[in-house]
Amino acid sequence: MSTEEVSEADFERYFPYTPAALCVKECARLSALRRYACPGPILDVGCGDGLFASIAFEGAEVWGIDIDAEEGRWAAASQAYSQVILGDVTRAKLPATFFATCVANCSLEHVPRIDRALANIRASLKPGGRAYLFVPNKDWAKEMLSYRALAGAGLTSAAELFRSSVDTFFKHHHLHDREEWRQIVTAAGMRVVAIEPALSTGTTVAFELLLLPSLAGWLNKHLTSRWTNFPPARRLYARQVHALVSRILAASGKDTTAEYLVIAERAA
| pLDDT number for residue 222 | 82
- Does any domain span residue 157? no
| pLDDT number for residue 218 | 84
- Does any domain span residue 107? yes
Pairing of strands 256-265, 99-105: unpaired
In terms of Cβ atoms closer than 10 Å to its own Cβ (0-12, 13-18, 19+), residue 200 is buried
pTM score over 0.85: yes
- Does any domain span residue 121? yes
| pLDDT number for residue 14 | 96
Beta pairing partners, 134: 105, 261
Contact 147, 162 (CB under 8 A): yes
Give buried/exposed letters for 98-133 (b at 16+ CB in 10 A, else e): ebbbbbbbbbbbebeebeebbbbbbebbbeebbbbb
Contacts (Cβ under 8 Å, ≥6 apart) of 225? 70, 73, 74
Q: How many domains does the chain have?
A: 1
| pLDDT number for residue 220 | 85
Q: CA 220, CA 228: separation in Å to the nearest integer?
A: 7
- Does any domain span residue 103? yes
Q: Distances in Å between the alpha carbon of 238 and those of 39, 216, 233, 241?
A: 31, 17, 9, 5
* CATH code where residue 202 lies: 3.40.50.150
Q: Distances in Å between the alpha carbon of 42 and those of 77, 83, 89, 129, 131?
A: 18, 11, 15, 10, 9
Domain extent, residue 223, equals: 3-139+173-265
| pLDDT number for residue 202 | 97
- Does any domain span residue 154? no
- Does any domain span residue 210? yes
One digit per residue, the tens of pLDDT, for the chain of length 268 reads 344 899 999 999 999 999 999 999 999 999 999 999 999 999 999 999 999 999 999 999 999 999 998 888 999 999 999 999 999 999 999 999 999 999 999 999 999 999 999 999 999 999 999 999 999 999 999 999 999 999 999 999 999 999 999 999 999 999 999 999 999 999 999 999 999 999 999 999 999 999 998 988 888 888 888 889 899 999 999 999 999 999 999 999 899 999 999 999 999 8
- Does any domain span residue 150? no
| pLDDT number for residue 1 | 38
Q: Distances in Å between the alpha carbon of 196 and those of 19, 95, 163, 184?
A: 27, 29, 23, 16
- Does any domain span residue 153? no
